[in-house]
Amino acid sequence: MKKISYGVALAVVFFLGLFIANWYSARNAVSESKSESVVLLEKVRKVMKLVTIEGEYNETYDERNIKKVTLYLPFPTVWGFSKKAMMQVKGKVLVGYDMQQIKITADSLNRIITLSNLPEPEILAIDADVAFKNISESYFNSFTPEDYTQLNKNAKNALREKAIEEALLNRAAEQGNQLVEVVRYMTNAVGWQLQIDSTRQKFPG
């Protein structure tokens, strides 16, 4: 009987020691995270775009959504469940011209260079970095992966609207007009004349 009790005691001590060792090891374990990415190059094309204005923005952007749910308690009652995201949006808006639209012809006999089909100023690119500062949601109205994708798109659209509101397109047009005058001066310097298509005298403002 003593031998059996002694063996049971050894077994208990062994398993207890094993449990403590595993617990200590798990508590002090160093976690490792691995990430894998696959980058696919879909298309390569030549571009010729001129950036004349660059706007930098640092905005706080809030978006709220309320979902109405009818609960029977025991009578039908409409409850509103909200979710809200507060984001810090830092980004750049690049405004300028797509120079591929311009047509250039040269009359070597009369030494005249003609520019035609001058483009309108446009927003060429928006580079936005979105940081989520606060996320609040409810059980019946929570954020999904699609919501976060849409929030990023909305943040970019907010920068676009801000750029239009601050008349960056008009300022880009002014820069375009100055560029035309520089080209005219350089053309005249080498004995040629610069002629702008009569339909558009300069980059439109």
Average pLDDT of span 135-162: 87
Q: Would you say residue 22 has pLDDT above 90? A: no
How distant, in Å, are the alpha carbons of 71, 91, 105 from that of 204?
A: 58, 26, 20
Higher pLDDT, 52 or 205: 52
pLDDT confidence of 67, banded at 50, 70, 90? Answer: confident
Radius of gyration, CA atoms only, the chain: 33
Average pLDDT of span 114-143: 86
What is the residue-wise DSSP string for 150-170?
A: HHHHHHHHHHHHHHHHTTHHH
Residue 114: exposure state from Cβ atoms within 10 A (0-12, 13-18, ≥19): middle
Higher pLDDT, 142 or 69: 142
CA 63 to chain centre: 16
pTM exceeding 0.75: no
Return the SS3 of 33.
coil
Determine the angle formed by the axes of helices 145-165 and 168-189, rounding to 10 degrees.
60
Average pLDDT of span 121-146: 87
